[in-house]
Amino acid sequence: MVLQFPPWRHDSELAMIRDWFFPDHAKHDVFSAPIQDMRQRAIDKVNLWLFKAGQLPAAIVATAGLTEALLHDDQERPARGISDSAMQSIYAMAFARFVNGFVDRDVARSHAAEMALKEDGSEVEEEVLPSKGENSMYAHAVTIGLPQKFVDLRHQVAHGNMPNVYYMRQMTLQALAWLWERWWVKSVTGDPSKALREVEERRRISREAAEREVTTHSNLYGYGPKSMDGLCREALQEETSEAVSRSDQEGRPQRPGTAQKRKARVLEEAF
């Protein structure tokens, strides 16, 4: 699928999403800081693109769906209340959508547009069956190099026969590897540097805006540094005035340290 008006700003942004989905394949500087897991950010970005554009290449949508399933399947899954059966359903839905996005469509009409190439660049000679149903799915899978076991698993989960979580996880990882080799490597060849600089610049602007908002709020409501100093000075002046007044009335000096204690109470209450 070639979008006339792609939702990403430029090729660099799509390359950035590629590296976020597949950090093991991204180029990293050995002297740079540890790489953060940006896969959830990539999923959110794809969902935003899908909302804006209405449709995206099947490989992008499938990558997001399969990756999201993997993110649900971590060591903290039981604590979040996701049982094995629920995890099986999550994997099954993501995998079925992945396979359907490539083979469960009008095969005869889409064959020319989605014909895959062999590694040496020659066209696959397998003829696509014009009929509907499972036979056409397998035939079309052959033309794009989609492993038969992927279609088998799709049919298996569609009929309610759920494999165990470990098997589903391994098949999901293999599906992502297939998407990387068959689509991302060939279709997304840009450099993510430009997009990464833009992301960092937006973060800097947001951080500075947040700092300005905190400073404005602090000064407005009397919690800023200057306001705090003024509050302490007023407390000390009030305490000194009261001490002098009591000393004059009672004829004895005020106990030392009262003003300092008052200042400490003011600071404690303010924070």
Q: What is the DSSP string of 9-28?
A: SSHHHHHHHHHHH-GGGS--
Amino acid at 264: A
Q: b/e per residue, 97-134, with b = 16+ CB within 10 A?
A: bbbebbbbbebeeebeebebeeeeeeeeeeebbeeeee
Report how far residue 211's alpha carbon sits from residue 63's, in angstroms, rounded to the nearest whole number: 37
Ordered per-residue pLDDT tens for the chain, 271 residues: 667 788 999 899 999 999 999 999 888 765 555 678 999 999 999 999 999 999 999 999 999 999 999 999 988 888 888 999 999 999 999 999 999 999 875 543 444 344 444 444 554 444 443 444 567 889 889 989 999 999 999 999 999 999 999 999 999 999 999 999 999 999 998 888 887 788 788 878 888 888 887 777 676 665 554 454 555 555 556 656 665 566 556 555 555 455 555 545 544 444 4
**Structural element, H or E, at residue 130:** none
Q: Among 88, 226, 209, 199, which Cα is nearest to 153's?
A: 88
